[in-house]
Structure 1
Amino acid sequence: MKKAEFKLEELSCPSCLMKIDKAVKSHKEVVKSSVNVMFNSSKVTFDFNDDFDVNIVKESIEKLGFDVLKVNVK
């Protein structure tokens, strides 16, 4: 299992947080209980299966209209 952290553009409303949370959790390879969207720091963290390409989640967030500024995978 690996962990990802995405730094996003500044989030401006709580509904943005909910949209991003739903998009990340929609991927079956993501451990849903690990998803954390942080409003004040504009970050998303989640755990995922080793063979999963996190760029798929990045694309899902960007399709919602939010820029992913940085991706860290541990």
Structure 2
Amino acid sequence: MQKIEGALKSVPGVEKESVKVLFNASKAKLNFDETQADLKDISQAVQSIGYDVLKATAR
């Protein structure tokens, strides 16, 4: 779980304090600045540490 948190927090534009990984639910929630990052950047960060991203949505 900390590995996923670290990967997400390393993405420029992600609000580090907002990162919450819900490992048992296979979800991560976070806030990010859309002018600095997008869902593709965030998904790639998770995939780079060996996890699959099945779905990414923004609200």
TM-score (norm 1): 0.72
Map 1:29-48; keep pairs closer than 5 Å.
29-48=13-32
Map 1:46-65; keep pairs closer than 5 Å.
46-51=30-35, 52-65=37-50
Shift of 1:50: 2.5
Q: Structure 2, unaligned stretches of length 5 or more?
A: none
Q: How many residues align?
A: 58
The structure with the larger Rg is 1
Q: Structure 1, unaligned stretches of length 5 or more?
A: 1-16
TM-score (norm 2): 0.88
Specify which structure has the bigger relative contact order, considering alpha-carbon pairs within 8 angstroms and separated by 6 or more residues. 1
Identity %: 36
4+ residue runs of structure 1 moved beyond 4 angstroms?
none
Q: Which amino acid aligns with 2:16?
A: K
